Structure 1
């Protein structure tokens, strides 16, 4: 069995592009190790002062509305972002990127135009 996890970024009004990546996980082979990985990243890359109640949101890590980023060096925050972005690669989990321009009506690139017309008909 496989699980597919997706998340979006770029939903704020000022952001012109929405990104929706997905990762596929083989539950038999990868799930237990992958479930432990976020805690390992959390314990390794999030300073002890910020760990309680911490949930990874890149906007928060870099803008700091709830986190005092003056007490968390930029390079350390970049290292956290790299570690999170590297998780699928560390486990050879296939990625499926998606992208759309906000306000634009695009036909998905993975769907041939003639098939898209038949599906929408």
Structure 2
């Protein structure tokens, strides 16, 4: 068994916060996604739509952020293992990028369905 330190919710929360800010500091795409999310949230605050629709749209923005964090973790792990070009490393990074792409597509579809059901049904 691996020697692990005693579990602490405070330490684990701190690790998560450190990870978030490390990615925010070093990943341009993540900075853009956070900025877009903040602008969208401000816009939703003033949007003339029901609270539930605003909530669904606002929360859907986390899908892309979570996917980008996963992609960043994959990229860092691959870079830790090898800096050389390797087919499997490329496939891992491409899969992480695909995760973000599908998260964006899912978020757009959620927006389309929510706005359509709010205003056109």
Q: Same fold (TM over 0.5)?
A: no
* Greater share of helix: 2
* Greater share of strand: 1
What is the TM-score with the length of structure 1 in the denominator? 0.30
Answer 1 or 2: higher relative contact order, Cα 8 Å, separation at least 6.
1
